[in-house]
Amino acid sequence: DAEITQSPRHKITETGRQVTLACHQTWNHNNMFWYRQDLGHGLRLIHYSYGVQDTNKGEVSDGYSVSRSNTEDLPLTLESAASSQTSVYFCASSGLTSGRADTQYFGPGTRLTVL
Amino acid sequence: EDQVTQSPEALRLQEGESSSLNCSYTVSGLRGLFWYRQDPGKGPEFLFTLYSAGEEKEKERLKATLTKKESFLHITAPKPEDSATYLCAVYNDYKLSFGAGTTVTVRA
């Protein structure tokens, strides 16, 4: 069965360190997304990609970067981790359906703690 | 800017006690409204997509409806396994904007 996986599931790091969170999907979806989820804010979009070599900033992109070198993976990098980036991170993917809103399918999440 | 507001923030129900969750939205040209269920420690799980006012969709004890300004998720005769956080999101420009969610607790 097609799926979307994230690793690691839990990560503790120190302020200032570079951290990379992995996202891998086997749906063969063109679109991939990264969100963070914090109490009281719901899910907020960090970065997204509509295909290989395409990346775009979301509403909370400062301090994060992504790169898309193949269809299956969209790693999220925190350049210099800050305590404000302690959160739960979700990756999602969706396929292209012309003219209709396409459904996003979510991974299990990564809980990141920055000390 | 798209805005999505969900109410109430939390809802405690007795098993069998039906209720409704509200999702009000402002968006320039709604392309779709999504409902997701999220269990603790897990990612959101897709429930429904509604595309136009008047549309309704059902799945087991859940029924979602849509008007031009809001959507309702009706839970009929809930069971403890319906306990979860329910998220609403509007779709625009290939992206989703989420509300903060309603956490539903169903007591046996």
* Separation in Å, CA of A80 to nearest CA in chain B: 26
Q: What one-character DSSP code corresponds to residue B81?
A: G
Contact list in B for residue A106 (CB cut-off 8 A) is: 36, 43-45
Strands of the A4-7 sheet, one edge to the other: A4-7, A19-25, A76-78, A64-66
Q: What mean pLDDT do residues B86-102 have? A: 91
Select the residue from B9, B96, B103 to test the A interface by mutation, using most A Cβ atoms within 10 A.
Answer: B96
B1 falls in which pLDDT band (50, 70, 90)?
Answer: confident
pLDDT of residue A97: 56
pLDDT of residue A95: 84
B30 falls in which pLDDT band (50, 70, 90)?
Answer: confident
Amino acid letter, A4? I
B80 falls in which pLDDT band (50, 70, 90)?
Answer: very high
Q: How far apart are CA B68 and CA A47, in angstroms?
A: 29
Q: How far apart are CA B23 and CA B11, in angstroms?
A: 14
pLDDT of residue A99: 54
Q: Tell me the per-residue pLDDT of B12-23, one tens digit each, with 9 for 90 and over.
A: 999 999 999 999
Q: What mean pLDDT do residues B77-83 have? A: 97
pLDDT of residue B92: 80
pLDDT of residue B2: 79
Select the residue from A43, A54, A96 to test the B interface by mutation, using most B Cβ atoms within 10 A.
Answer: A43
Phi/psi region, residue A63 (left: phi>0; alpha: psi -120 to 50; beta: rest), is left
Contact list in A for residue B91 (CB cut-off 8 A) is: 101
**Residues A69 and A52: beta-carbon distance below 8 Å:** yes
Peptide bond into A8 cis (omega under 30): yes
Q: Which residues of chain A have pLDDT under 50?
A: none
Q: How far apart are CA A70 and CA A48, in angstroms?
A: 14
pLDDT of residue B93: 76
Q: What one-character DSSP code corresponds to residue A67?
A: -
Q: What mean pLDDT do residues B3-10 have? A: 95
Nearest by CB: A42 against B51, B95, B101: B101
**Residues A112 and A21: beta-carbon distance below 8 Å:** yes
How, if at all, do strands A110-114 and A10-13 pair?
parallel
pLDDT of residue B102: 97
A108 vs B: CB within 8 A = yes
